[in-house]
Chains A and B, each alone.
Chain A
């Protein structure tokens, strides 16, 4: 039974168990360098009730401070022998260890967030119907979404094809070669698959998370993955998955979380029971703003994050709205709208655009002026070859 594939090198569940049985030292710091080594150490820690702190190998200076301060080495460990996959799963289900991850740091200094392994187990859906799933692993494994995919695949004993940071060509070739059935990634990742002139029929489940998607992208994905069911998930580092939608961008408060979610001025607040360990406040303000689509206020779609709205010249502007309109222009593959401090008018709207069709800036602005009020049309249009993304595969606005 296959467990993991990276760069064509394959590891079975039997190989994994053998690797785990051969380990007798570890540390609480699990550094992402080589994917299989990373997951093996993480699993070893989980099986031995050792807490893990996950680090990227390109850690920032402030993360390095944590690294040096928190490192604990464990030598001469004599863990119980794992005989088979059932032994391994039992150890995971009964693990008391915790996984510490860092928030992306988009709001400032990176913050450590602890989640129990049992929380990841609870968030996974384990069932016979998932046992033949083959996953394309597209998230950063040191972050929430990556760990969730890992647990979902592992607990169902699935085959994982590690494709984080792969190119469009590698992704398409690997999905074809291994008949991948399940993928989960950020909308930014999926947008970078443009041009959408291929089809992957083996993919049955496609999940988008981490950023706001749009109908145009959803339609393109339905076209390239003709046999797939599309899911949008709302998740955060602090809470994990909270909402799942199968109806495009329309989300619904689930019965299981109805008393753990509230809305104040259309902003989502999550109860501490959904949050990471030791979260002190009663309610966590997510900064995510929604628009209700029914009178009973149980269904909604996401409008923006607080940080996605800016005030320019007294006009409140939602940057995602502008990006959404730009995406509708033919040939546009990727967009970033942001503001720059400006000595003349305070702030100026700037847009970076990747497009397969050559436009003059004038033509492009004219198209935008037909769709948006003039104050929402970016003063500066920059046609670029690519737009930088964060470690978690999202567009980097700041």
Chain B
């Protein structure tokens, strides 16, 4: 999954749940974002993220435990 696609998925969840949309500055900044603290995801949003990513990449990103940052999501799907 490319950066743009992941950003699109994350923002789709943000939009549905009235969270502030993520503005992409650079890749390092994007990867450092904490899914809960910076983006504002709750457990339902994280569940949404797993389903949407699994649809795209056939990978369950939370299979081995909780993931905290966008960078860790990248590690799982690359």
Contacts and interface: CB of A to CB of B under 8 A. Distances in A.
Interface of A: 340, 342-345, 348, 350, 360-362, 365, 379-380
Given A342-B51, A380-B51, 10 more contacts: A343-B60, A344-B43, A344-B47, A345-B43, A345-B46, A348-B48, A350-B51, A362-B15, A365-B16, A379-B48
A380 B15 CA distance: 13
Nearest to A342: B47
B16 A344 contact: no
Nearest to B66: A344
B72 interface: no
Interface of B: 12, 15-16, 43-44, 46-48, 50-52, 60, 62-63, 66
Contacts of A350: 51
A342 B60 CA distance: 9
Given A343-B62, A361-B12, A361-B16, A379 B52 contact: no
B62 A380 contact: no
A343 B62 CA distance: 6
11 contacts: A340-B51, A342-B47, A343-B50, A343-B60, A343-B62, A350-B51, A360-B15, A362-B15, A362-B16, A380-B48, A380-B52
A348 B62 CA distance: 14
B12 A344 contact: no
Contacts of B48: 348, 379-380
Nearest to B62: A343
Contacts of B63: 343
Contact of B51 (A361, A365, A379): A379
